[in-house]
Every structure is written in structure tokens, then in C-alpha cells.
Amino acid sequence: MGEYSVPSHIVPFVYMFTGLSDFLIYRNPKIYSPSPLQAQPGVVPATLVEIYDIPSGQSAAGSSQGVAEFGAGEDYDPDALQTFASQGGVTIPPLSPDHIITPLSGEGIEGDLDIQYIAGIAQGGENWYWTDADWLYDWSVTFFQAKSRPDIISISYGWWEGDQCDIDSTGCQNLGVDSTGYVIRVNIEFQKIGAVGVSLLCASGDSGANGRTDPDCSTPRLRPAYPASSPYITSVGATQLVNPSSNLPNPPPVCTSGNWTCSSGGQETAVSYDQAQFTSGGGFSDIAVRPSYQDSAVEFYLNGSAGVQLPPTSYYNRSGRGLPDVASLGSDILIYSAGQLGGWGAVGGTSASSPSFAGYISLLNAVARKKTGKPLGFLNPFLYKMYAEHPASFRDITVGDNICTEQGCSSGCQGYYASKGWDPVTGLGVANVKEMISYLSGLLDAKIAAKMTATA
């Protein structure tokens, strides 16, 4: 079509531009997808309600939540969603056609998992399903420019931050950036999304601190996943139940069908390769510096106060953004997928933890919207403030590590240990939703009272 140009007086303000030659190019990024797990009692939304102390009847009405999927073949099955709801003991209305953005062809387990759990936890909220054939930059720009969008988006995809151009090689070439430049630019887009009141959450990864691009731990540097390593996103790690109990007070039909039993509790630890066949991604960004909101929590871990052994200093960036921020159950998660699993099946991954935690936040958003008319928006400063001021909002996970990868462990594998306080395996810990709601309500009531006093 010929050369393109911009006026010279605009050049100093242009960082890069896209969309001129990379449209109609379809890519299938490597993703953190769920994998089959060994049989033991499964996790359903009622399990999460019980374990994370979600108040009975707590509704997400007035808030909205969605999931973002990337690449071809990552649609969800609407019929499977309704079967999951009816047999899983939750109420999920069919999604409005206006809330299904650029659907692609082909049902995927990831899509079914994500929408079933964000919608199954945040019942009453408005559900969105957003797909994009391209990767993070194109999606984030499209999402930000949309006339309407949900309050929360959960992303279950990721790749080593140092190799983003492997996922979006055409995009990097067109933009004239390397992987570091790509990450820096997408982080700016994430800032903009947070500034308009949207909460972004992301799975921390399923191949430990070494990452999916180093499955045999042969590289003497740990590899954090992106976008989980962005300081403008809430990164979610995974936990598992050891010796689970099966005493749900009102088990849904799937738990009493004879094919499955469902967990009601047990000892919660970081996921392990031996049980879950994966470990949580986590560590420290090599690109983004540590944000001030997590300074205190991360320094407690790094300065030896947590009392755990750290990897060699050459393996990680001590001053980088620490991840994950929080965690949730991500092992033995029951989903319904007619096409991929032939019915009910148990899957796992931080890709299960992220949409679930997004559901907890949607419940908080409903409280915030009722009191102030606004959602929480960018979450991380609020989460770390809540941790410092009301630690009962989180339950610390102190057992486990992320030294192994999805392939197991070799002598060269390094990683981090769960510990007291924040750690690069399970973050601040798992949620106590009842306590979170209590803290948020008190915080907002105090702000409303102060504002009324100031205007009196």
C-alpha cells in the first residue's frame, strides 16, 4: 500500500504504532492450561465457599467480571456452562451476546474452566467472555478503547517475560521492540486499564520459578512469567489440599452422583509436583522494579526474617517486582467439558486459581459499588494495605515450594519456599472473604463519613 509517515512535529510523542501490517495474522500463544490430575476429592464452587469463608448468599450483583482468552480454539461451550451450573449447585445465566467479544471457533478446556469458576463464585454479577487472536499489546489497546467493559478481567495465559517476542514475533517486529520493550509498553497499557477502574488478575504460571521455557532447569537464571510479573496486575498462585475432608454441608449434585466426591477442607499447601503435577510460578521480575506497595512484605522475605533459604543471588533480581500477590486452590478443580473431557473432569493450574480469586474480588466490588458507585480498580495497593492493617483477611500458606517444573525436578532446579508472610510461591496467602468484606466496608464507611464531615 506504499510507505506510511506521521508529521514531523508528532514524531517526539510517538512510541510505536501497530495494526498497519499485522492484522489477519493468527497466532496461538503457548499458555498455562489445566492438566489432568490424580484422582482425589474434587473442588467445586461450594468447596471454595466453605474454605474461604464466603458469607452465605453473598452476591456480586451490581458488579461485572470477565475472562480474557488468547489464540484460536479457546471458546467456551454455553451448554457446558449451564450443565456446570445445574449439577455444580450454582446459578449462572447465559451470557449476553453483547458480552461475548470476538468469539473464536472451537471449545477449549481453558475457556470452560475460566468462565465456569469466575461466574460460579461471583453469582449475580454480569459475566463477560473476551477473546483475542493476538497477544497482550493488541488486546490491551482494544480493551482500553472499548465503549464498555467489565470491572474485572482474569487472564490464565503467560510466558517468560524475557521471550515475549517468541509469542508475538510479528508484533515485536512491527513495533520495533525487543521483549523488554514489549513488556514495558504493555505495562503502560495495564496502567491505563487500572486507571479507568478495571482490576486485572493473572495466573502466576505452572512450571515453578524456573518457568516453562526452562523445563529441565538448565539455565542459571530463574524465569518469571509475564503478564504475571507486571506490577499493574494481580498475580495469583495455586494451592492444593492434603488429606482433604468431604463434608460439604449442602453438596451439589455432581458431588453425590457416585462418580465424584467433593472436598470441604484439609491442610492447604502450595501445589507440589508430586500431587498436582505442577508448581506455582513465582519470583522476581527482571524488567519491572519492585513497586512501593509491596516493599515491606517482600523485604521481610528477602532480609531473612522469613527464615527460608533463597536461591543463589545470581539467579534472580532482588530489586524486581515480586510475584505472586495472592493464591487460591488450583488442584483437582472439577469442570464440565463435553467436547474435551466427555463430561466432568478434574483439572489444575494457576489458570484455575486466577478466575476463582477474581470471583472473590467481584464480591468485594459489589460492596464497593453499593457504597460508592465505583469498583475497586487497580487492586494491589489495596491488597497490601489490607494485609498490613487487617491480616485476618488472608490465611498464610507456609508449606511448599516452587523448585520443580512441570517435568519434575533435576539437580539444577532452584526456586523459593513458602514461609510466614509474603513469599514468591503463594504471595500474601489465600483469601478470607468474610474478613475482606468486613475490612472493605469499614474502610469505605470511614471515607464516606470523613467526606460528609468535610462538606458539612
Q: Write out the chain's pLDDT in tens, 456 residues.
A: 456 778 889 888 887 776 554 433 333 333 434 444 446 799 999 999 999 999 999 999 999 999 999 876 678 999 999 999 999 999 999 999 999 998 666 778 899 999 999 999 999 999 999 998 889 999 999 999 999 999 999 999 999 999 999 888 877 887 899 999 999 999 999 999 999 999 999 999 999 999 999 999 999 999 999 999 999 999 999 999 999 999 999 999 999 987 889 999 999 999 999 999 999 999 999 999 999 999 999 999 999 888 899 999 999 999 999 999 999 999 999 999 988 888 999 999 999 999 999 999 999 999 999 999 999 999 999 999 999 999 999 999 999 999 999 999 988 899 999 999 999 999 999 999 999 999 999 999 998 888 777 766
Domain membership of residue 284 (yes or no) is yes
State the catalytic residues.
110, 114, 351
Q: How many domains does the chain have?
A: 1
pLDDT given at position 112: 93
b/e map 226-239, b = 16+ CB within 10 Å: bbbbbbbbbbbbbb
pLDDT given at position 91: 97
- pTM for the whole structure: 0.91
pLDDT given at position 352: 95
Domain membership of residue 64 (yes or no) is yes
Q: What is the CATH number of the domain that holds 338?
A: 3.40.50.200
Cα angle vertex 371, ends 365, 375, to 5°? Answer: 30
The whole-angstrom distance between residue 320's C-alpha and the CA centroid of its chain comes to 19
Domain membership of residue 115 (yes or no) is yes
* Nearest in space to 321 (alpha carbons), one of 350, 271, 283: 283
Domain membership of residue 19 (yes or no) is no
Domain membership of residue 13 (yes or no) is no
Neighbour-count burial of 327, counting CB atoms closer than 10 A to its CB (0-12 exposed, 13-18 middle, 19+ buried): buried
Domain membership of residue 8 (yes or no) is no
Spatial contact of 239 and 427, defined as CB atoms under 8 Å apart: no
* Nearest in space to 199 (alpha carbons), one of 130, 151, 244, 240: 151
* Nearest in space to 67 (alpha carbons), one of 144, 145, 131, 143: 131
Distance of alpha carbon 336 from alpha carbon 346, whole angstroms: 9
Domain membership of residue 343 (yes or no) is yes
Fill in the amino acid letter for 269. Answer: T
Domain membership of residue 325 (yes or no) is yes
The whole-angstrom distance between residue 431's C-alpha and the CA centroid of its chain comes to 14
Distance of alpha carbon 130 from alpha carbon 184, whole angstroms: 23
Domain that holds residue 365: 24-455
* Nearest in space to 316 (alpha carbons), one of 451, 223, 419: 223
